[in-house]
Amino acid sequence: MAIEVGAKLEGKVTGITHFGAFVDLSGGVTGLVHISEIADNYVKDVKDHLKIDDVVKVKVINVDKDGKIGLSIKQAVDRPEGQAAPQREPRAGGGGGFNRGGGGGQDRGGRPFNKQSAGRPSYNKPSFEDKMSRFLKDSEERISSLKKNTEGKRGGRGAKRV
């Protein structure tokens, strides 16, 4: 039996790991359901959702050249037309994630992210060389102030003794 991408099949869970579950489809063909494809909500431990010898409905999401088969349980669930998958809840501590949405979030560095300016060059921004020279200047100032503060104290690194 040829396994095709998009096919929905039934299989038996034959193994569970920390990264997913192996499912025997038929005729000794085995595929992997990655932990991210087990349920619509966050899965911390695969064993909370599946047990060995469970019969599950899976959808084939990819077949590699070397014969590895990627499966999904959450994509195999038939939803009524127009009903989308449940939305994930936002993570606690918020604000630090990358945001491709509207104009007001933050990028990974915590800087404001503006969708309108994404991908377009800005001609009033400093060049790389300007940023580097400013960085060097600031760095040298910090080093000199550190040296001034540590040289006058006894026991500091490189302190001059009288």
**Domain coordinates of the chain in residue numbers?**
8-72
Specify the length of the chain in residues: 162
Q: What is the pLDDT at residue 71?
A: 94
Residue 148 — pLDDT band, cuts 50, 70, 90? confident
CATH code linked to domain 8-72: 2.40.50.140
Distance CA 43, CA 122 (A): 42
Residue 151 — pLDDT band, cuts 50, 70, 90? confident
The answer to pTM > 0.75 is: no
pLDDT at 94 over 90: no
65 and 39 Cβ atoms separated by less than 8 Å: no
In degrees rounded to 5, what are phi and psi of residue 139? -65, -45
Q: What is the pLDDT at residue 159?
A: 55
Q: What is the pLDDT at residue 46?
A: 92
pLDDT digits (tens, 9 = 90+) for 48-88: 999 999 999 999 999 998 989 999 999 988 776 666 666 65
